[in-house]
Amino acid sequence: MALPQITLPHGYRWRTLTKDDQRLVTELDTWAFPSGLAHDDIDATPSPLTWERAIAIEAEGFDGLAALHASYPFRQFPVPGAELPTAGLTWVGVHPQHRRRGLLTAMIDLHLARSVERGEALSALFAAEAPIYGRFGYGRAADDLRLEIPRGAALRDVPGAERHTIRLEVATREKHGELVDRLHRAAGAAPTGIPGINRPGWATRETEELQAILWDDSPVFREGRESRRIMIVELDGEPRGYVTFRRTMNWEPRGPRGRVHAGEVVALDAPAARALWGALLDLDLTNEVTPFVLPVDDVITNLLVDLRAAVPRTPDNVWVRLVDVAGALAGRQYAADVDVTLAVTDRQLPANAGAYRLRAEAFGGASVEQVDPEFEAPDLSLDVRELGAAYLGGRSLAALAAAGLITVHPRPGQPANALARASAAFGWPIAPGSSWVF
Ligand SMILES: CC(=O)SCCNC(=O)CCNC(=O)[C@H](O)C(C)(C)COP(=O)(O)OP(=O)(O)OC[C@H]1O[C@@H](n2cnc3c(N)ncnc32)[C@H](O)[C@@H]1OP(=O)(O)O
């Protein structure tokens, strides 16, 4: 497929990539993200890339690649009460010799143009550095929770947890791939068991490449940790949840100080979650459990008697950009009835700029109509970046307005507060978040 016409700075040209370019990609990638690993070791592991979505930049008189970006084709990216085709921007890197010349800017323009062509209403990403992507219309849409939970930390009781049993095995795709995929999807589709109330941002590994990298267990990437293990919680022989983990050992004068590095902690209901966490917090020779990323409202926040002792931190998780504002607004559900007109600015995608009247029923259908702001005065004015931040339901429009990032236009004689109503509608009962970094 021909690339859309996006101009590069003088002396640079676009280059498509195939899997035969793996070494070039590794060389550029280790310039952008310093790594002590040998290139042969990196190339021996599966690549997560969907090659036809990986685009590089070459420079005149320069060996190798000057820059690279790619995206994952998420066809079912969860948004509040629905799923939307989404381009998961990833592997963005510019060789340090070519930085700050506008190559990232050109790559984002190309990425957005291709996303429009493919009909992807959203783009989502994890940011290597938080200040990079706001200028391109991405909003910080979700946070995640990092914990360091002391071994044996007291947990609240949940009736029925005691009926569960625990199985511990070495994790392999052959044995656990189907189970993990099924439970992960089910936990994202209905984290509270209420049909339709999903976890926005809970991306699944939709491609074969993403499945392959998930299960790869090359020793060079383990950093002294053991091979990947899995703990499965069962009720009457039926799997109800799992956690993947690796332990490290540390013998200190006061005794063993091992650590459990938990990958993904997933359970279908509260009793299963209580049983799983109870077992995870009770592994011999360890004194701490560090889950990788958890949703900020994960059940563990309410099960732990002393959350403070687990030193909670909440860095940014998924960033979201609306590629098609009308399609994205109509493509999610809302938590309250709403009728609001939004005036949206968008520097990179001017076709998005305009006024949109959004009408939706709580947890039902939504419709969006582009209107003439001359005749239909907007209630709120905001940039596409703020819309991205609020889109998954994890960041309140009212809080963004309180920070001066959204302008509210009061309507004379209308008592209802459009900001409060829109804020309630854009929220969602379950916090957004992805359980893995893409
Ligand atoms: C989704 C992902 O893959 S996240 C991974 C991102 N990659 C990395 O962090 C790897 C290391 N860094 C890099 O490869 C590069 O420095 C990049 C990709 C961050 C930036 O690439 P560049 O080609 O230098 O960016 P470009 O020249 O287009 O800069 C565009 C603007 O962003 C700003 N910018 C670029 N990088 C950063 C940063 N890390 N922090 C803050 N601002 C930044 C520039 O100053 C510039 O601002 P201006 O328009 O006001 O002048």
* Residue 133 is among the residues annotated as catalytic for this protein: yes
* Angle at alpha carbon of residue 207, lines to 201 and 212, rounded to 5°: 110
Per-residue pLDDT tens over the stretch 95-129: 999 999 999 999 999 999 999 999 999 999 999 99
For domain 145-310, give the fold. Answer: Aminopeptidase (3.40.630)
Per-residue pLDDT tens over the stretch 133-151: 999 999 999 999 999 999 9
For ligand 1, what atom is nearest to the CA of residue 69?
A: 3
Q: Is residue 166 pLDDT above 90, yes or no? A: yes
Question: Of the residues 12, 35, 104, which should be mutated to test ligand 1's pocket, given the most ligand atoms within 8 Å of the CB?
Answer: 104
145-310 and 12-120 share a CATH fold: yes
Q: Give the E-state strand segments of 222-310 in sequence order.
A: 229-235, 238-248, 251-252, 255-256, 258-267, 286-291, 294-295
Helix, strand, coil percent values for the chain (each to nearest 5): 30, 30, 40
> Taking residues 170-199, what's their average pLDDT?
97
> Taking residues 238-251, what's their average pLDDT?
97
Quote the ligand 1 centre to 133 CA distance (angstroms). Answer: 8
In the three-class reduction of DSSP (H, G, I as helix; E, B as strand; rest coil), residue 35 is classed as: coil
Q: Is residue 416 pLDDT above 80, yes or no? A: no
Q: Which of 12, 72, 133, 136 is catalytic?
A: 133
CATH 3.20.20.370 fits 328-426, yes or no: no
Between CA 401 and CA 395 the distance in angstroms is 11
Kindly report the pTM of this predicted structure.
0.97
Which residue's C-alpha comes closest to atom 50 of ligand 1? 135
Cβ-contact 352, 344 below 8 angstroms: yes
* Residue 391 is among the residues annotated as catalytic for this protein: no
Q: What is the CA radius of gyration of the chain?
A: 23
Per-residue pLDDT tens over the stretch 357-406: 999 999 999 999 999 988 889 999 999 999 999 999 999 999 999 999 99
Q: Is the CB of 343 under 6 A from ligand 1?
A: no
Domain ranges in the chain? 12-120, 145-310, 328-426
For domain 12-120, give the fold. Answer: Aminopeptidase (3.40.630)
Which of the four pLDDT bands, split at 50, 70 and 90, describes residue 329?
Answer: very high
